Structure 1
Amino acid sequence: MINGTNCLNKRVQDLFCSVQLNVNNPHFLIMQGRITKVLNMKPPEILSMIEEAAGTSMYEVKRMSTRSTIERKDIKMKELSSVVKEEIAPKLEKMKTERQQVMEYNKIQRELDLLTRLYVAWRYVSAEEKGGVLETLEKQLKEKEKLEAKALANQKNIKDTLASEEKNKKQLAKSLKEDKALPQILFILCNRENDATGTSPSELLVGRNLPRPGDWIAPG
């Protein structure tokens, strides 16, 4: 404890060393009976004792401690430099390359989004423009289909009418052949047509599959 404050032992030792009192190697006092030992010391031992007595040994200890710390830091720094060079630097280079690729991808993605929006807008405008054309074509197609349906209906009606007339014609021809008054009727009709056109009864009956005028019986 120094001045009522708890301190580490090293701080206490430094305090004593600063006043030339090294409690670890108490050479600042030469006890009676140790003079002979001091006189028999080797030069390095005498130098150490003098440095302790002068108070410079404290700085030597700190210098050695600091040098040891620096050496340890140098070793750690070399290890860190090796790790940076062998492991971190390649990863950083790879990350830089990946960053460039990501930036390029984002740029391409933005351009793609822009082109996509432009394409969608163009499709919408084209659809709007084609919508009117398609609507007109659909109307024309519907009109054409109506006309075709109407023409087919008319054609069917005509066929039905012709078939009905053909059937009536056949029935009329059959009835006329079976009717006993046919010769007299034909004679009168042919005479009338002859008076109007100047055609003989034989010429009028050509292709009609009816009795010739020679077979007729004139009315009384």
Structure 2
Amino acid sequence: MTLQKITFLKDKVASYNEYPFCVPVIKNLDELKITNNVTFFVGENGSGKSTLLESIADSCGFNINGGGRNNLYTNNIDETTLGSYLRLSWRPKITNGFFLRAESFYNFAAYLDTLNQESGEDVYAPYGGTPLHKQSHGESFLSLFNNRFNGKSALYLLDEPESPLSPARQLGLLKIIHDLSTKSNSQFIIATHSPILLGYPEATILNFDGKKIEEIRYEMTEHYQITKYFLENRTAMLDHLLNED
């Protein structure tokens, strides 16, 4: 284990009436223990899972637009207001890692193109040797996972990495997560809506849908239950949904 605990410095908060401090799970957060090399954040949109993940990235010194500590660029994403209110506890502390924002990955790929032109060096080698913009969205994600995520001990923070990936590719990502977390002691914290990724064996799943962050079993997640019910009762469910007045 590397990152072991996240402490919310409540004494620094002036008001809980503004975002993100007004989000229930943030407002009620004291400390969050990380007890697994693979941890998932789940919850509805707006529940605070991506906000907390981004703030962890900020506290680690990663680029909150997407990237690691040495990826220096900006885009239209506002600076987080929560990162300076967190204290991270490590054993041991590491600086190697990456923050993936699925929503802004295009901007990260554009940053690499600009860096390649300005430096005169090949910056694509850590990403498979091919510009990310010359690959499909899903292929560029896999190039990142297969190449930039190397065998060194690292912290990988992934925000909805499943968004461009087919179900088969999501299974491939599970294999990458397994190899890195078991062979190099790398750590993953992943915000996701994917019932496939959530099925990773013995992972810790933290639910953000209540007033407090709570651990939940895979079979009890809404992602699993809705997907299972839909696959087993597709006709009846669609009939009720589409024909409801």
Asked if Structure 1 and Structure 2 have the same fold, meaning a TM-score greater than 0.5 normalized by the shorter chain, the answer is no
Greater percentage in helix: 1
TM-score interval, smaller chain: under 0.3
TM-score (norm 1): 0.12
- Which structure ranks higher in relative contact order (CA pairs < 8 Å, sequence separation ≥ 6)? 2
TM-score (norm 2): 0.11
Greater percentage in strand: 2
Which protein has the larger Cα radius of gyration, Structure 1 or Structure 2?
1
